[in-house]
Structure 1
Amino acid sequence: MASLPEGLLEGGVWFRVEDAGTASAVRRAAERLATELAMPERRVADLSIVAAEAAGNLVKHAVQGTVLVRAVRTTQQAGVELVSIDSGPGIADVARALGDGHSTAGTLGIGLGAILRQASHWDMYSLPGHGTVLAVQVWPDDPPEAAWASGLTRPITGEAVSGDAYAIREADGRRQLLVCDGLGHGGLAAAASQEAVRVFRHVPAGSPAAMVEALHRKLGHTRGAALAVAELDPAAGLVRYAGLGNIAGTLFLPDGTRRGMVSMPGIAGHQRRQVREYDYPLPPGTTVLMHSDGVVDRWSPVGYPGLLARSPEVIAGVVLRDAGTRRDDAGVLVARLP
């Protein structure tokens, strides 16, 4: 078996899909990842169809089409996820496009239908004139419940790895999120963020302020990072939030208003004046968005009808496409509880 592209097992690999050759590269990468994860042959074959159709659609219809291929895991099993993002014409009638036989490129029109038949989970958002984001997961057996939080990271143009990272965990009844932006770019920035993710996943669960303090102590041997931790407590109707540096946190409330969350100045691992934790209301249906400074803070869901009802990974894909900058690493994390 050919060796996996660097990073495919860890955080995934982005492909710019412009022709049939790069579309084939997406399919081969997905197949290799599925084989490495010991998925059964029948599901590898299903995934191959999904990858070929998703990437092929970008070649036929899209503008600036990209696909992320990455592993997704639970404690019981591992699967493969593809996130396809484009800035093409979009789809005016999604329901019609999902049916076999509909085509705008003179083909058989079975692409989306084939994808959905093989997928364990899928979600899509398309807006005419803006493009389409499609997220598809293929699991080896019965799929887990859809995730309540998901994110995307992308490296600055010219770098192979991103200095931004995120993590999601449920421990001791706490649902917690981390977004981290390693200082600078490239391998050393990525090392700082990955160390933050490792610590976040393994230290005993505590309040967001306690988690930020623990991360600050553990990152002293790295170049440091901006980071923030949020804890969603639906029983109390609260988000608890603490951060150091320029990680942005925003709540999009069901009534259409938005509320920013506060991080303190500093660099985790190096400079810290104080860590403060703030509480914010979390009514049912609130969407929590956290991102690095590689995503402009002016993004708003206004003009994206129905987007905040989509899955976290699809929301993250739209934000990354429309608000992410290519002049910096970019990271987006989205969470939403019922």
Structure 2
Amino acid sequence: LAAAPEASLPALLQRLDGALASLRGAAVGLVQVQGDRLRHAGVGNTRCMRLRDHHMTRLPSQNGIVGGGLPARVSESELDLAPGDWLLLFSDGLDESLQLPVLLPEWERDPGLLCAYLLQQAAPGRDDAGVLVMRIGGG
């Protein structure tokens, strides 16, 4: 589903809603990082969190199913970003009250290890789980 980089996240979710209408639907969280700003829009059980200096900021995701009709108004959230911040995006297979222990040095060297750790925390058999971890450069 190609889109212009300047397309709004709600507009992208509208396009996805139409494309998935004949299927089962999905929970979708979208982020757009531009410079030191992050924009996020999510529908369904998706989460987006920023970890900065051991403090977690959670962004909201709205109830619904992309492909099953979106909320009347899809909302966007914004956050500032700084070098060294961590972004975590994950699906409902992981507990939304997720608490990270202190970031270990090996996670900083290889964020894939952090992804593996988070996936081990997923509730087996309850739901599928997907996770993306991203470190903002310069830190």
| Normalised TM-score (structure 2) | 0.86
Q: Which amino acid aligns with 2:79?
A: Y
Q: Which aligned pairs between 1:66-81 and structure 2 lie closer than 5 A? A: none
Match of 1:269 in 2: 67
Q: Name the SS of the counterpart of 1:314 in structure 2.
A: helix
Match of 1:325 in 2: 123
Q: Name the SS of the counterpart of 1:211 in structure 2.
A: helix
CA gap 1:307/1:300 in 2 versus in 1, 3 angstroms: farther
- Deviation per CA, 1:2-60: give whole Å up to 9, x if none: xxxxxxxxxxxxxxxxxxxxxxxxxxxxxxxxxxxxxxxxxxxxxxxxxxxxxxxxxxx
CA distance in 2, matches of 1:306, 1:259: 21
CA distance in 2, matches of 1:217, 1:263: 19
Q: Which amino acid aligns with 2:50?
A: L
Q: Which amino acid aligns with 1:215?
A: L
Structure 1 gap ranges (5+): 1-198
1:209 touches 1:241 (CA, 8 Å); kept in 2?
no
Match of 2:56 in 1: 258
Task: Decide which of 314, 322, 334 is 2:113's aligned counterpart.
Answer: 314
- Deviation per CA, 1:241-278: give whole Å up to 9, x if none: 0011110111111x221100111111101121221111
Alpha-carbon distance, 1:294 to partner: 0.5
CA gap 1:312/1:213 in 2 versus in 1, 3 angstroms: farther
Alpha-carbon distance, 1:316 to partner: 0.7
CA distance in 1, matches of 2:8, 2:42: 12
CA distance in 2, matches of 1:260, 1:301: 13
Match of 2:13 in 1: 212
Question: Residue 301 in 1 paired to residue 76 in 2?
Answer: no
CA gap 1:314/1:308 in 2 versus in 1, 3 angstroms: closer
Alpha-carbon distance, 1:303 to partner: 4.3
Task: Decide which of 26, 31, 44 is 1:230's aligned counterpart.
Answer: 31
Identity, in percent, stands at 28
Structure 2 gap ranges (5+): none
Q: Which aligned pairs between 1:108-119 and structure 2 lie closer than 5 A? A: none
* Greater percentage in helix: 1
- Deviation per CA, 1:68-110: give whole Å up to 9, x if none: xxxxxxxxxxxxxxxxxxxxxxxxxxxxxxxxxxxxxxxxxxx
Alpha-carbon distance, 1:212 to partner: 1.5
Alpha-carbon distance, 1:304 to partner: 4.5
Alpha-carbon distance, 1:308 to partner: 4.7
Q: Name the SS of the counterpart of 1:267 in structure 2.
A: coil
Q: Which aligned pairs between 1:1-338 and structure 2 lie closer than 5 A? A: 199=1, 202-205=2-5, 206-233=7-34, 235=35, 237-253=36-52, 255-273=53-71, 274-306=73-105, 308-321=107-120, 323-327=121-125, 328-338=127-137
| Normalised TM-score (structure 1) | 0.38
Point out 4+ residue stretches in structure 1 off by more than 3 angstroms: none
Q: Which has the higher contact order (CA 8 A, sep 6+)?
A: 2
Alpha-carbon distance, 1:325 to partner: 1.5
CA distance in 2, matches of 1:306, 1:297: 24
CA distance in 2, matches of 1:251, 1:336: 10
Number of matched pairs: 134
